[in-house]
């Protein structure tokens, strides 16, 4: 994880760093490509400073996730709306 506080977060992950060989037969082994994942997001408080809801959270959380392995790329963008105890949201994959 690159950084985190109560409002913003993000991170990077690398899988299959040593690129092990995969295959069913000894002579037919190809290297497994590294998978790189990057994510970031945040929590934006929508209550303001003069809210009277006690400890109930009311916030919006935008998120982004990018993954790459070999020549394949995936980008997910989404957001969540929290009104404690209800959370609704969605993500779009491109």
Indicate the number of domains in the chain: 1
DSSP 26: G
pLDDT of residue 1: 61
Token readout for 46 is 């929508």
The torsion angle over the Cα atoms of residues 66, 67, 72 and 73, rounded to 10 degrees, is: 0
Tell whether the model's pLDDT for residue 91 goes beyond 70: yes
Summarize pLDDT for 22-73 with one digit per residue, the tens. 877 767 778 888 999 999 999 998 887 665 656 788 999 999 999 999 899 9
Query: Could you list the residue range(s) of the whole structural domain that residue 43 is in?
Result: 3-93
Spatial neighbors of 73 by CB under 8 A, at least 6 apart, are 66, 67
């Amino acid at each position: 994880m690159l950084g985190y506080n109560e409002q913003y977060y993000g991170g990077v992950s690398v899988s299959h760093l040593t690129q092990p060989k995969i295959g069913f037969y000894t002579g037919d082994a190809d290297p497994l490509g590294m998978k790189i994942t990057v994510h970031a997001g945040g929590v934006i408080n929508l209550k303001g400073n003069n809210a009277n809801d006690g400890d109930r959270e009311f916030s919006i959380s935008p998120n982004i996730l990018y993954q790459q392995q070999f020549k394949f790329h995936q980008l997910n963008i989404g957001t969540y709306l929290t009104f404690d105890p209800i959370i609704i949201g969605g993500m779009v994959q491109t």
